[in-house]
């Protein structure tokens, strides 16, 4: 008799989750069409209603989260929920996210906001309810429908958040399908959601595996992975405040935030004072034996924190490691000599445990902090406690972290609770962390901006000027149409030398010219065979002395006023060189210019002459 198929229920759950992901993505896309057409007033009313609707439930949601996940502290989760429905809401409320959102009059640009589209939001178990409140608020503020994929171990509390906020949004005018959430969550279902064509952007908060899956889904994604925040205490720091801030940050919600402190780096000059202050504030320093025992139970072979101890108190963690700590112990501190695989407790720990390093000075401290960040926290967060602004700035310039909190807990400072950073529960780690942005994520990141750009500099047409129409009356004034850039002036002597060199390169001896004077010819085309013979013969005659660009005219000739020494002969003559000024003079005088096979005509003169039809050319030349 064959063994029963125990894999069938799991397979069915995966299929159901995949099907639900597809259905919710389609539903959200239908709502997106209506949501995108709402006005700013309507969107703000929906956001107002959601924030006000969820606020009375912050304690209920915090208790539900702790009960379901067993992580963290109820009071701290209440504070995080209030942060999302109060501080985040107050920050995004005045944002313009519909229609014209900015005008740049000096650049003549108008910026218009468009919603990104349906958001796939992955919500973690460490901060489930506060992250869900935050992501729903910023998505709807940007006119984006949202589909939430909750962590399986926090599905009930996240679902409760979504139900409360969806009811408030619907009552305020949001279309059906604006807020959606998966109830049968599996890894396969979450992956299917991220790949759905109806999904436009992914907001992924969680472990590195999940973040990598988000980035490989083929969609724009804001992914935030683990942090490993070092806290440097420089010799000029207020040591008492530094110790208090670091422990406040580490113990907040039992250390489950990704920006929670993970290591302390202290200058040797204040190391003893710092140790006393940490102990006074409830820290317990481990012996080498206790450090080794803790590393065995807290860190898995994959160099990840043991999920059984995530978000547990210091006393519980110590008990699991096989030793006891004094009553009132808030955090465990393990002195280490290095960073990396040989020092397991140098990783992100997600519970009230800190590694501890003593360094010679700020330069050595700087190097140590970089090592810690490279071991799992690149681009995320760190802090410095110092009164020396020069050293603080050096840390800002040198550290591969995009949130460097100064004299404040990393946990609170990074999310904008105690600093001026944008309030957010999703923190970008930039290129160092493999993320698309280093910002704290807000509704701005769920908008596309289109721009009306007016001309501020006229385009220049570099094609033949013949296509440019001549202004009325331009011929009488000797001017062309639109003004054109003119080259720097060249002296007559320099011009003459250039023309002589040009002629010599073509086998015409410079310094000689035709015995016929140069200049515009008498009006009228060449009619007779004799005229053509005269032209051909004239081009073969010996050239007499000349200066400049052509022969000086005899006294019987009339000066045409060109830029070079050009003239009009009593009888028609073949010009050797014609520039634009020669053409202008001929137009003004009402005469014509006779060209021979070897006449040099500048491009500008050619365009002008052909425009005014004043050239006489032999048939074989034409």
The CA distance from 428 to 440, in Å, is 6
For the chain, counts of helices (H) and of strands (E):
21, 22
Torsion, Cα 81 85 87 92, to 10 degrees, reads 140
- What's the length of the chain? 622
Tell me which of 85, 258, 366, 369 is the catalytic residue: 258
Coil, helix or strand for 147? Answer: strand
Q: Show the DSSP H helices in 83-198 as ranges.
A: 89-92, 128-141, 155-171, 187-195
d(CA 227, CA 80): 18
- Whether residue 231 contacts residue 383, with contact meaning beta carbons closer than 8 Å, is answered with yes
With residues binned 3-state (H G I as helix, E B as strand, rest as coil), the percentages for the chain, rounded to 5, are 45, 20, 40
Residue 451 and residue 112: Cα distance in Å, rounded?
Answer: 6
331 within 8 A of 314, measured Cβ to Cβ: yes
Number of other CB atoms surrounding residue 421 within 10 Å: 16
In 3D, which of 622, 614, 575, 573 has the Cα closest to residue 591?
A: 614
Number of Cβ within a 10 Å radius of residue 543: 16
Q: Is the dihedral of CA 298, 300, 304, 310 positive or negative?
A: negative
Q: Which two tokens stand for residue 127?
A: 């901060």
With H, G, I as helix, E, B as strand and everything else as coil, classify residue 493: helix
Using DSSP bridges, classify how beta strands 401-406 and 447-453 pair: parallel, antiparallel or unpaired: unpaired
Q: Residues with Cβ < 8 Å from 6, sequence gap 6 or more?
A: none
Active site residue 429: no
CA distance 517 to 266: 95
Do residues 53 and 162 lie in contact, with contact meaning Cβ atoms separated by under 8 Å?
A: no
From residue 102, give the alpha-carbon distance in Å to each of 98, 450, 543: 11, 11, 71
Q: Which of 332, 382, 386, 341 shows the shortest CA–CA distance to 361?
A: 386
Beta bridge partners of 335: 356
Secondary structure (3-state) at 543? coil
Got the DSSP string for 296-309? HHHB-TTS-B-TTT
Secondary structure of 53-89 as H, E, C letters: HHHHHHHHHHHHHHHHHCCCCHHHHHHHHHHHHHHHH
The beta strand positions in 483-528, using DSSP E, are: 512-513
Q: Give the catalytic positions in this structure.
A: 258
């Amino acid at each position: 008799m064959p063994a029963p198929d125990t894999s069938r229920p799991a397979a069915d759950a995966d299929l159901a989750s995949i099907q639900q992901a597809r259905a919710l993505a389609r539903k959200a896309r239908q709502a997106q069409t209506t949501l995108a057409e709402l006005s700013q007033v309507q969107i703000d009313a929906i956001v107002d209603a959601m924030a006000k609707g969820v606020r009375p439930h912050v304690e209920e949601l915090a208790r539900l989260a702790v009960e379901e996940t067993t992580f963290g502290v109820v009071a701290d989760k209440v504070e995080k929920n209030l942060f999302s429905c109060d501080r985040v809401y107050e920050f995004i409320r005045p944002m313009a996210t519909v229609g014209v959102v900015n005008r740049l009059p000096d650049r003549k640009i108008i910026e218009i906001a468009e919603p990104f589209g349906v958001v796939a939001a992955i919500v973690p178990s460490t901060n489930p309810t506060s992250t869900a409140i935050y992501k729903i608020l910023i998505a709807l503020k940007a006119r984006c429908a949202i589909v939430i994929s909750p962590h399986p171990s926090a599905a009930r509390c996240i679902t409760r958040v979504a139900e409360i906020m969806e009811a408030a949004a619907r009552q305020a005018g949001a279309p059906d399908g604006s807020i959606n959430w998966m109830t049968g969550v599996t890894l396969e279902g979450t992956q299917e959601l991220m790949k759905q064509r109806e999904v436009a952007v992914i907001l992924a908060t969680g472990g590195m595996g999940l973040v990598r899956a988000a980035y490989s889904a083929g969609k724009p994604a804001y992914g935030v992975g683990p942090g490993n925040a070092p806290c440097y205490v420089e010799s000029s720091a207020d040591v008492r405040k530094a110790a208090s801030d670091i422990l406040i940050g580490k113990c907040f919600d039992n250390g489950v935030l990704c920006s929670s402190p993970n290591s302390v780096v202290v200058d040797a000059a204040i190391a003893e004072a710092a140790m006393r202050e940490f102990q006074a504030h409830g820290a317990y320093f481990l012996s080498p034996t206790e450090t080794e025992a803790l590393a065995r139970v807290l860190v898995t072979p994959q160099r990840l924190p043991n999920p059984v101890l995530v978000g547990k108190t210091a006393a519980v963690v110590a008990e699991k490691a096989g030793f006891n700590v004094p009553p009132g112990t808030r955090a465990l501190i393990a002195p280490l000599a290095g960073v990396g695989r040989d020092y397991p407790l140098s990783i992100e720990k997600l519970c009230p445990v800190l590694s501890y390093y003593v360094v010679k000075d700020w330069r050595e401290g700087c190097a140590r902090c970089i090592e810690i960040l490279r071991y799992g926290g690149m681009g995320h967060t760190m802090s410095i406690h110092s009164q020396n602004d020069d050293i603080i700035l050096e840390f800002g310039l040198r550290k591969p972290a995009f949130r460097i909190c100064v004299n404040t807990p990393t946990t609170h400072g990074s999310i904008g609770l105690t600093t001026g950073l944008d309030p957010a529960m999703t923190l970008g780690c930039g290129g160092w962390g493999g993320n698309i942005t280093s910002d704290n994520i807000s509704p701005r990141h769920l908008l596309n901006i289109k721009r009306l750009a007016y001309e501020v500099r006229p385009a220049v047409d570099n094609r033949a000027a013949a296509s440019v129409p001549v202004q009325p009356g331009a011929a009488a004034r000797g001017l062309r149409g639109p003004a054109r850039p003119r080259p720097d002036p060249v002296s007559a002597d320099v011009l003459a030398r250039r023309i002589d060199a040009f002629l010599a390169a073509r086998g015409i001896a410079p310094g000689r010219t035709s015995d016929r004077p140069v200049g515009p010819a008498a009006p009228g085309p060449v009619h007779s065979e004799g005229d053509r013979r005269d032209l051909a013969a004239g081009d073969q005659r010996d050239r007499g002395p000349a200066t400049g660009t052509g022969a000086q005219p005899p006294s019987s000739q009339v000066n045409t006023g060109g830029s070079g020494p050009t003239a009009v002969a009593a009888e028609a003559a073949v010009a050797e060189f014609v520039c634009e000024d020669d053409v202008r003079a001929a137009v003004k005088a009402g005469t014509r210019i006779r060209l021979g096979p070897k006449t040099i005509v500048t491009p500008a003169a050619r365009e002008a002459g052909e425009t005014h039809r004043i050239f006489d050319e032999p048939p074989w030349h034409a």
